[in-house]
Amino acid sequence: MPRFPQSMPRINPSILAADFVNMERDLAKIVSADLVHVDVMDNHFVPNLTFGPQMVGRIQDVSQIPLDVHLMIDDPERWAPGYAELGAASVTFHVEASSDPVALARRLRDMGARAGIALKPATNADDFLEVLDEFDQVLVMTVEPGFGGQSFMPETMPKLRTLREAVTARGLDVWLQVDGGITEETITTAAQSGADTFVAGSAVFRSDDPSAAIALLRERAAEHTH
Ligand code: DX5
Ligand code: ZN
């Protein structure tokens, strides 16, 4: 089995919308997905709190699909390498919290993880266009980070298009991820604007049939991914 899934487009359900006391049961519902999106929040970088390395380590133990860790925390220089150490396939940190995103990404890659940067809705991508090859993923937040169940912000799409143009023009293998308010409707807009990796919390876990929801999201995205 390849370490990183090759299917396109990728659908990464966010376990922020799962039942935290039945995590293993809920992880079993999403085995048809590409990676499991794991939101780490520190009640400081964002006004919400989830879990840390101990919980993520257990998720790593029991998950049948690789982990896509999204760190919404201060001081990622201190904490992010620990998640790579746990074996997470992908570790994404926020540029707003990082003192040197390129240096941190290099450390994560050296540890065998894919290295991602995340941009809040108001954060410009321009500073990172020149150094895109230093990263394996750029996460364009399509809501303000912190909570599930918010509405998709279409005003983030020009930034996504700029990133897609840069990735394509340079022939880079950088995944472009969207996160927040992704539904079977909004996924079309995000795919048309250049996303290839889609996080969905509520749309998957609030569905009666998470596996069918994943399949539908993948189908909708595939119609528009280019
Ligand atoms: C929000 C998190 C998201 C969240 C998305 O800060 O980063 O991953 O779980 O949830 P939905 O899909 O419900 O908007
Ligand atoms: Zn997230």
Mean pLDDT by 10 residues, the chain (226 residues): 66 98 98 98 98 98 98 98 98 98 98 98 98 98 98 98 98 98 98 98 98 98 85
Q: How far away, in angstroms, is 117 Cα from ligand 1 center?
A: 16
Q: Is the CB of 181 under 6 A from ligand 1?
A: yes
Query: Counting ligands in written order, which one lies closest to the CA of residue 182?
Result: 1
Residue with tokens 């150490």: 85
Do 196 and 174 contact (CB within 8 A), yes or no?
A: no
Cis previous bond, 158, omega within 30: no
Q: Which pLDDT does position 8 carry in this prediction?
A: 86
Q: How would you list the strands of the sheet with 137-141, edge to edge?
A: 10-13, 197-200, 175-179, 137-141, 114-119, 90-94, 67-72, 36-41
Q: Which pLDDT does position 6 carry in this prediction?
A: 58
Q: Is the CB of 26 under 6 A from ligand 1?
A: no
User: Is 110 an annotated catalytic residue?
Assistant: no
User: Is 133 an annotated catalytic residue?
Assistant: no
Q: Is the CB of 180 under 6 A from ligand 1?
A: yes
Q: Which tens digit of pLDDT belongs to each residue from 147-196?
A: 999 999 999 999 999 999 999 999 999 999 999 999 999 999 999 999 99
Query: Counting ligands in written order, which one lies closest to the CA of residue 147?
Result: 1
